[in-house]
Structure 1
Amino acid sequence: MSGALDPELLALLLPEWEAATASLAAAPEERDRRRALDALRGMSAGAGIASLTAALRALDPLPKPFDAPATAAALAAHARAVAAAGHDLPFASPGPAPVRILVVDDSAMMRRLLREALSADPAFTVVAEAADGGEALTRLAEHAPDLTLLDIEMPVLDGLAVLREWALRGGGAMVVVSSAAVPGGEVAVEARRLGASAVVGKPSGAFSPDLGERQGEAIRRAARRAVGLAP
């Protein structure tokens, strides 16, 4: 990464670059993110900053999941470092964004236990919870999670009804965590038919405190497989 860059051009570039990365971080839709990335590609090519051009080329197509704020922060920080150095530098891309998870269970204790089980794996972050099937559909629309952990026996709508709606709408993966869905049983077979990636049984009793020890690893393995991560 040798060769001096035009300091006047870098000074002119930085304010526009900061504005474009801020737009990327705040972009609500994929089309807005693509528009911001296209603007950044044009600027990096015009300034002759090969490291940024290569980093932006690697974002076409957009990876999934895509952490726009983290990527924008890394692009902005790198441009500032290049401007300060006066020459190009190797680009250190941000780590993969954590898998965004919705936890759905009518038991507050079980939701807490599931959060604790997931917290043992840095690849996961819980972004929302729901206490019944109706609320689950609302949270799915609001947060578009990468993965949902779904109970079966719930008020308003049960887990199978949620799966039927989800099968029509799409979006993210589903793992059923329920004492009602015994692996190989009728409910589990129906859940898998509707598209659930896995069915994991709860420990005995919805309030069992040993979920983290006895079932946590099984839930984490199923969650990683559902989103295509290595076990």
Structure 2
Amino acid sequence: MTALDEELRAALRPEWAADCGALAAAPDAAAAQRALARLRAMAGGVGLDAPFPAADAPLEALRAAAPALAGVLEPPAAAAPLRVLVVDDSRTIRRLLREVLDADPALAWAGEASDGAEGLRKLAALAPDLTLLDLEMPVLDGMGFLAEWALVGGGEVIIVSSAAPPGSATALEALRRGALACVAKPSGALSPDLAARAGDAIRAACRLARAP
């Protein structure tokens, strides 16, 4: 189907819906063909592909085509937000990352963990779409998490760590292990300005997980 912007869809929708209704309730083939002719004219005028029935289809088939035609101009369904798990040993960073995620309606908080081992358990229990992963953590660090995650799978992983600035050897190793991207924290692992200084970069990296 040819893509139309929402402004054009909204302009066409009332007349399109009325003619789809007329098609569904057509008392005879002539009335159905008139409704179809109007719909075809509208579609042709804007280059819109639509599932029109064959011109010689029986009346019941013409009427039955109305629901599918009516759906052509419905607003596209909003994609569900990406559910994000945050794995970081700093409570402050976890809180700040939640603020970063809450600022984008396309992202949703799924849960948190304070080390890689707990992160793997939460990954299995919560099945998030995306994990924001620190590297320097007790019990199991980020590289250890990536090694296990590579075996069990479960969404995408983005590194958010002061130990892996983009382009560094550590960042390249994390990417080699399957991370989608690496975003550096601001200087100082507990920097309170994380949301202001790195929020846009973190949200942009998260949106990579939605890209086809």
Query: Quick check: TM above 0.5?
Result: yes
Counterpart residue number, 2:185: 202
Structure 2 CA distance for partners of 1:54 and 1:180, relative to 1, 3 Å: farther
Q: Aligned in 2, Cα 1:52/1:150: closer, same or farther, shift over 3 Å?
A: farther
* Contact kept? 1:52, 1:91, Cα under 8 Å: no
Instruction: Please state how far the C-alpha of 1:162 moved relative to its aligned partner.
Output: 0.6
| 1:94 shift after superposition | 3.8
Which 5+ residue runs of structure 1 have no aligned equivalent? 6-47, 56-89
Query: For residues 91-111 of structure 1, what are the alpha-carbon distances to aligned partners after superposition, in whole Å with 9 as ceiling and x for unaligned?
Result: 556421011111111111101
RMSD: 2.6
Distance change in 2, residues 1:138/1:54 (3 Å): farther
**Cα distance 1:140–1:52, how it changes in 2: closer, same or farther (>3 A)?**
farther
Structure 1 outlier segments of 4+, above 6 Å: 52-55
1:184 is matched with 167
Q: Count how many residue pairs are aligned between Structure 1 and Structure 2.
A: 156
- Picking from 146, 155, 158, the partner of 2:129 is 146
Provide the secondary structure at the position in 1 that maps to 2:67: helix
User: Corresponding residue for 1:109?
Assistant: 92
> CA, structure 1 residues 163+91, in 2 after alignment: closer, same or farther (shift >3 Å)?
same
Identity of aligned residues (%): 56
- Partners of 1:133 and 1:203 lie apart in 2 by 21
Q: AA paired with 2:93?
A: M
Q: Any idea what SS the aligned residue of 1:106 has?
A: coil
What is the aligned counterpart of 1:51 among 42, 67, 74? 67
> What is the letter of the counterpart of residue 214 of structure 1?
R
1:194 partner amino acid: R
Does the 8 Å contact 1:147/1:227 carry over to 2?
A: no
Counterpart CA distance in 1 for 2:66 and 2:140 is: 53
Match of 1:135 among 112, 118, 126: 118
Unpaired segments ≥5 residues, structure 2: 1-19, 27-63
